[in-house]
Amino acid sequence: MKLTDLEKINDHLWEIPKSHRPDMHVPARVYATETMLQSIVQDRSLEQLVNVCTIPGIRKYALAMPDVHEGYGFPIGGVAAVGASDGAISPGGIGYDINCGVRLLRSSLTLDEIRPRLEKLAHSIAREIPSGVGRGGSVRLKGQDLDLILRDGARRAVEMGHGREDDLKHIESGGRLDGADPHVVSQVARERGFDQLGTIGSGNHFVEIDRVEQIFDEEEAARLGLVRDGIVVQIHTGSRGLGHQVATDSIKGMMKAMPAYGITVADRELACAPISSREGQRYMGGMASAANFAFANRQLITAGIRRAWSREFGDDVVEIVYDVAHNVAKVERYPDVGEVVVHRKGATRAFPGQPVLIPGSMGTASYVLVGLDGAMEQTFGSSCHGAGRTMSRTKARTQINAEELRGRLRKLGIIAEAGSSKGLVEEAPEAYKDIDAVVDVVARAGIAKKVARVVPIAVVKG
Amino acid sequence: MYELVHHIADVRLRVAAPALEELFRDAVRGMYAVMRGASERDSQPVQRTIEVDESPDTTALLVDFLNEVLNRAQIGHELFTDVLFTRFDGTSLTATLSGIAPASFEEDVKAVTYHEADVRREGEAWTTMLVFDL
């Protein structure tokens, strides 16, 4: 893709017209500054976005958020809405890590109060919450217990004693997606997930303790219980192996079914089926089940953090600020397109007034935003989901020294509890885009407004 | 043979071999090279048999096969370094996998994707690209 293939709409919005390729049903739009766009065209993100424009039943346009980067099938940071009655659902538009998402917790402690025990706290959290590859959690679900988690998500986790009823009010969709059908979740998916509840996993997943560095909107911050120099905790993880397998099973099934529906796709990872079809309904039921597993996973991790917190700080109460999914499909209604299924792959729902959590990389800031009306008008109620990578994992491993990175983080006052040096360098700050610039685009576009900027003081990861 | 190729977020593997079965075997070895075991020296040897049936074509067969290998790896905490095919046609296979059961892996592969996968003959070699979701 060349810059000249894009038409400028305004300083932060660009369009690839429908005429760019004959099989596009709608145009593609990209939220980015011109500088960011010059970097975005270096990978295949926008070719992938054009492919998304060919999905049957797609409405208005396919969207790329400013943190967009190359994925497979859909780009990461992609949004697409398809008609609920005539559209096709594509598991690749949600991704393998179904309901990968972020939960934000807040403590009543300040930096001065937490600093003396921070190292011990980080270590204690690392012991409570398994991370890395091949490490199972302390809860092993079987038979009906797993079915209940798949059906009821965080609600079931609370019923099992891993949280409080009040927690559910602060989770997207109450921590439970409707329409879950545990019976369509394969035995292999169950075997991959049965011991992974309450675990972070590896890659870019983490638990991070942050200090609220800056408040942009006092009123919204007060509503969310955020104060300057207050302490918050981010949890970034998803549905683990169970969700990965639901996606794999569904893509395989849809690839076989597509000829019967007369569907061809530009990339096999865009395999799709009519939402109303047997394959479409099976996926919707399986995806909701995996999403509920992810909500429950973040609920168990919250319980682990609370246990660690309690050991260090007695009765300080750790509350949930909010929990958002950034890899999920949802049935929503918009005035101009009616009822649609919105695919969000590496994109966060940003309904007006809803908290939007944008994690940065380890060593850089993260943001708390609140969705605005502009999101409903422009982006099917969606925002960016993170900083977005600019350096491959392979390059990060060859260019960044783990000890040098640990030293640099220490100088910034950040404690890193990492399972492996490899995992640490792959997620180094320089491997990611400038999150301030990404969030500025979203704010200037009127999609979401800035509420708080938080900076890490301790990171726990695989 | 296989080689890792630049990908911004995941892992891209280029595989080439003179015969199809060798291409499949080298892809398994490539996946092992990505995942790697921690403390492999004390790992117990393991052997598993898997079957894949009714893939739409040879490219899909390779991806489906690798996803089956990945399932075995994730569920049994096992890694596979070699494979012997007892049945192999363009759309189905039976294979015996040999490998080890390490304490944990270096890298978590979520899935083997169909993205960019295209098994084709180029001169004397069978080739394909593979993208693993990390």
Mean pLDDT of A114-125: 94
What pLDDT sits at residue B53? 92
- Distance in angstroms between the alpha carbons of the first and the last residue of chain B: 22
Q: Is the model more confident about B40 or about A401?
A: A401
Mean pLDDT of B22-43: 86
A→B contacts (Cβ < 8 Å), by residue, are 43, 69-73, 76, 95-97, 132-135, 188, 191-192, 201-203, 241, 244-245, 247-248, 251-252, 255-256, 267-269, 271, 389-395, 420, 422, 462
**With bands split at pLDDT 50, 70 and 90, how would you rate the model's confidence at A140?**
confident
- This model of the complex carries an ipTM of 0.88
Cα(A316)–Cα(A334) distance, rounded to whole angstroms? 42
Tens digit of each residue's pLDDT (9 = 90 or more) over B65-108: 999 999 999 888 899 999 999 999 989 999 999 999 887 787 88
Looking up tokens 């919105």, which residue turns up? A342
Handedness of CA B118, A391, A95, A136 (dihedral sign): positive
What pLDDT sits at residue B37? 67
Residues of chain A contacting residue B119, judged by C-beta atoms under 8 Å apart:
none
What pLDDT sits at residue A220? 98
- Give ∠ CA A403-A404-A410 in degrees, rounded to 5: 90
Cβ–Cβ of A72/B103 closer than 8 Å?
Answer: no
The count of residues in chain B is: 134
Least Cα separation, residue A276 to chain B (angstroms): 23
Question: Is the distance from CB of A368 to CB of A350 less than 8 angstroms?
Answer: no
What pLDDT sits at residue B38? 66
Question: Is the distance from CB of A81 to CB of A41 less than 8 angstroms?
Answer: no
Tens digit of each residue's pLDDT (9 = 90 or more) over A258-310: 999 999 998 999 999 999 999 999 999 999 999 999 999 999 999 999 999 99
Least Cα separation, residue B112 to chain A (angstroms): 8
- Res. B55: pLDDT tops 70: yes
Which residues, 6 or more positions from A101, have their beta carbon under 8 angstroms from its beta carbon? Answer: A172, A236, A237, A238, A294, A298, A323, A324, A325, A326, A327, A328
Least Cα separation, residue A154 to chain B (angstroms): 23
Cβ–Cβ of A394/B11 closer than 8 Å?
Answer: yes
User: For every residue of chain B, which 3-state class applies, written as one string?
Assistant: CEEEECCCCCEEEEEEECCHHHHHHHHHHHHHHHHCEECHHHCEEEEEEEEECCCCCHHHHHHHHHHHHHHHHHHHCCEEEEEEEEEECCCCEEEEEEEEECCEECCCCCEEECCCCCCEEECCEEEEEEEEEC
| Mean of pLDDT over chain A | 94
Mean pLDDT of B15-23: 96
Q: Which amino acid is at A158?
A: V
Stated as kind and residue range, the H or E segment containing A221 is helix A218-224
Looking up tokens 């020294």, which residue turns up? A401
Task: Give the domains, in start order, of chain A with CATH numbers.
Answer: 3-91+98-390+432-461 (3.90.1860.10)
Residues of chain B contacting residue A132, judged by C-beta atoms under 8 Å apart:
104
Q: Phi and psi at residue A7, in whole multiples of 5°?
A: -105, 135
Cα(B87)–Cα(A236) distance, rounded to whole angstroms? 43
Handedness of CA A163, A165, A170, A173 (dihedral sign): positive
What pLDDT sits at residue A133? 67
Mean pLDDT of A127-144: 75
Cα(B97)–Cα(A232) distance, rounded to whole angstroms? 47
Interface test with A, best of B7, B8, B58, B106 (most A CBs within 10 A): B8
What pLDDT sits at residue A134? 62
Q: Is the model more confident about B15 or about A390?
A: B15
Alpha-carbon Rg for chain B, nearest whole angstrom, is 14
What pLDDT sits at residue A223? 97
Q: Is the model more confident about A218 or about A386?
A: A218
Question: Is the distance from CB of A77 to CB of A259 less than 8 angstroms?
Answer: no
Mean pLDDT of A64-92: 95
Alpha helices in A2-134 (DSSP H): 34-40, 45-52, 111-114, 118-128
What pLDDT sits at residue B39? 66
Closest among A151, A103, A144, A122 to A299, alpha carbons compared? A103
Nearest residue in A to B79, CA atom: A134
Residues of chain A contacting residue B107, judged by C-beta atoms under 8 Å apart:
133, 202, 422
- Res. A462: pLDDT tops 80: no
What pLDDT sits at residue A434? 87
Tens digit of each residue's pLDDT (9 = 90 or more) over A164-195: 999 999 999 999 999 999 999 999 999 998 88
Residues of chain A contacting residue B6, judged by C-beta atoms under 8 Å apart:
392, 394-395
Interface test with B, best of A248, A254, A270, A426 (most B CBs within 10 A): A248
Cα(A381)–Cα(A330) distance, rounded to whole angstroms? 11
- Give ∠ CA A146-A149-A150 in degrees, rounded to 5: 85
**Whether A385 is catalytic:** yes
What pLDDT sits at residue A394? 79
- Res. A417: pLDDT tops 90: no
A338-361 b/e (C-beta count within 10 Å ≥ 16 → b)? eebbbbbbbbbbbbeebbbbbbbb
Q: Is the model more confident about A417 or about A84?
A: A84
Q: What percent of chain A has pLDDT over 90?
A: 80
What pLDDT sits at residue A441? 97
Size of interface A-B (CB pairs under 8 A): 101
**With bands split at pLDDT 50, 70 and 90, how would you rate the model's confidence at A138?**
confident
Cβ–Cβ of A420/B133 closer than 8 Å?
Answer: no
- Res. A397: pLDDT tops 90: no
Which has the minimum average pLDDT: A68-72, A139-143, B66-70? A139-143
Which has the minimum average pLDDT: A69-73, A199-203, B35-39? B35-39
Q: Which amino acid is at A23?
A: D
What pLDDT sits at residue A132? 66
Which residues, 6 or more positions from A439, have their beta carbon under 8 angstroms from its beta carbon? Answer: A358, A367, A369, A384, A450
Least Cα separation, residue B95 to chain A (angstroms): 18
Residues of chain A contacting residue B131, judged by C-beta atoms under 8 Å apart:
72
Q: Is the model more confident about B134 or about A7?
A: A7
Which has the minimum average pLDDT: A21-30, A152-161, A208-217, A356-365? A356-365
Mean pLDDT of A39-50: 94
Closest among B32, B31, B33, B62 to B126, alpha carbons compared? B62
Q: What percent of chain A has pLDDT over 70?
A: 98
Q: Is the model more confident about A36 or about B41?
A: A36
